[in-house]
Amino acid sequence: MSRFKILVLFVCSCAYTFSQNDIDAIRYSRYGIGGSSRFVAMGGAFGAVGADPSCAAFNPAGLALFRKGEISFSGAVKLTRNTGSIYNTKTSVSDVKFAFNNFGLVYAWNSANDPDSRHALAFTNTQLQNFSGTTTMSGYTNNSSILKDMKNLADEQGNIFTLNSSYENLAYDTYLLDDDTNGTFNSLVDIKRSVLQSRELVTSGRVNEINFSYAYSHKDKFYLGLSVGVPRVEYTSTTTHYESDGKDSMQIAFNADSTYSTTYIDGLPNLHTDYVTKLGFNSLVYTEYFKTQGSGLNLKLGGLVRVNDVVRLGMYFHTPTVYFLNDTYYNSMSAAFDKNPKSPIDSKFPENGGYFEYRVLTPARLSFNSAFIIKKMAVIGLEYEKVNYANAKLLSTKTFDFAGVNKVIKNKYKTGHNVRLGAELNLKPMMFRAGYAMQGSPFGDVFGGNFVRHNFSLGVGFRGKGKWYFDLVWVKSLTSEDYFLFTTLNTRAKLEYSATSLGATVGIKF
């Protein structure tokens, strides 16, 4: 068998375009709880509480409760501990990163025509999502090598010229797959044997959103706000899949008469001599890499009414965000054999990396907010947010590029429901806070189940006699999901994500 294909046929039949999918659209549609330490400590339930720079990214009407100017900066140390469970084996990985949370500048002034009314302008930068984390899963397989998945897909194609250039064709190029005369493929990894398998998922990046905001207070009773949001996306994902013949159960040995013996279950009668002389499978590494960068645009409208000295009610609406994104990407495979395990055979597609431009349209968001003020000593915030993830879309200059993906999104995802609850006790000069936020699954589950996110927070603040203040917040975030490794095999891992953050805000009023 020749490893070289006819060039014309290769170009015509095996051209491959890196494919974005529904996960890309949903990834940028699920905001976290980002903002000042006070905002985060109260679970983000600030839609009707107001008077915090973070309101610009959620309910901008809350900015109208400012009576003077303010500037603040917020950051945090984030510890992640992620666990992957597969083949009855758990693997945990911990990591520590510094995270920017928020910068806010607000200026407020009384209306010239009505001293009981006010205006406010704000410039803020808020981290809505942080993607940093590493997850690993590892164990001996139960008849589920990646080569079994690749062989199944190759058999569906039936010939070498239509193999997926970023997946099973990489195995063909590295001698792990061989085409047979009857239109099927053979694998040098004995797919009936157990191999030591691990997969590492490494992600990094963030979504930071700049907001330019205006808010108006009418007689300190009705409040309106408007924000123009410009989110900036940076996201990098590296998926690395390892397999090795950990028990050395796939050997080929030559006899004195130039015949060979093998420990392969089915032997190697149909494999090319090139395979036999490699003396059996040793290990492989398959890598998927992509990096996404870009920016977006949205509009936020908010309203708030002071019903009385105790109750405030509000609501906000966020238009869909349109993101203009570009991806750089490649897939690669490296295969090592017993004859010379330190000299693996490598293949990469695209050879010099690929590039693709597209757009993502996230769903609109609608929220109802409430706040209860108790004798100026305590405040309780409660709000509900609705996001229909089925309205997310991928877009390009050619409508048919994403017609299938958008149909999957429409049929697969449902309305998500988010709840935020927070409380603050004011014991001057100290303030104590607690909060809880539940972000429902994009499949409709709330409070329990996969993809539901839980945030628990505690905070403390100090208000000095001067114009400065200092806040601390502790946050625990938990979520879990099922992760399927392959297309044609029901190989499922359980992923559990845990993040603990300790954040601080320093601010000055002027």
Per-residue confidence (pLDDT) for residue 291, from 0 to 100: 97
Per-residue confidence (pLDDT) for residue 327, from 0 to 100: 96
Helix or strand run (H / E) with residue 342: none
Per-residue confidence (pLDDT) for residue 184, from 0 to 100: 85
Per-residue confidence (pLDDT) for residue 19, from 0 to 100: 66
Q: What are phi and psi of 265, to 5 degrees?
A: -60, -50
Per-residue pLDDT for the chain (510 aa), expressed as one digit of tens each?
445 443 333 333 333 345 688 999 999 999 999 999 999 999 999 999 999 999 999 999 999 999 999 999 999 999 999 999 999 999 999 999 999 999 999 999 999 888 889 999 999 999 999 999 999 999 999 889 999 999 999 999 988 999 999 999 999 999 999 887 777 898 889 988 999 999 999 999 999 999 999 999 999 999 999 999 999 999 999 999 999 999 999 998 888 887 888 888 877 666 677 778 888 999 999 999 999 999 999 999 999 999 999 999 999 999 999 999 999 999 999 999 999 999 999 999 999 999 999 999 999 999 999 999 998 899 999 999 999 999 999 998 876 789 999 999 999 999 999 999 999 999 989 999 999 999 999 999 999 999 999 999 999 999 987 889 999 999 999 999 999 999 999 999 999 999 999 999 999 999
Per-residue confidence (pLDDT) for residue 466, from 0 to 100: 80
Alpha-carbon 230 to chain mean position: 19
Per-residue confidence (pLDDT) for residue 265, from 0 to 100: 82
- How far apart are the C-alpha atoms of 127 and 253, rounded to whole Å? 59
Q: What's the distance, Cα to Cα, between the start and end of the chain in Å?
A: 78
Residues in the chain: 510
- How far apart are the C-alpha atoms of 278 and 252, rounded to whole Å? 8
Per-residue confidence (pLDDT) for residue 254, from 0 to 100: 85
- How far apart are the C-alpha atoms of 50 and 211, rounded to whole Å? 16
Q: Which of 363, 455, 356 is nearest to 413 (CA)?
A: 363
| Bridge partner residues of 216 (DSSP) | 119, 224
Q: What is the largest CA-CA distance in the chain?
A: 105
| Bridge partner residues of 126 (DSSP) | 102, 209
- How far apart are the C-alpha atoms of 58 and 52, rounded to whole Å? 11
- How far apart are the C-alpha atoms of 191 and 160, rounded to whole Å? 20
Q: Are 178 and 160 in contact (CB under 8 A)?
A: no
- How far apart are the C-alpha atoms of 21 and 408, rounded to whole Å? 9
DSSP readout, 281-311?
EEEEEEEEEEEEEEEEEEEEEEEEEE-SSSE
Burial class (CB in 10 A: 0-12, 13-18, 19+), 297: middle
Q: Are 197 and 267 in contact (CB under 8 A)?
A: no
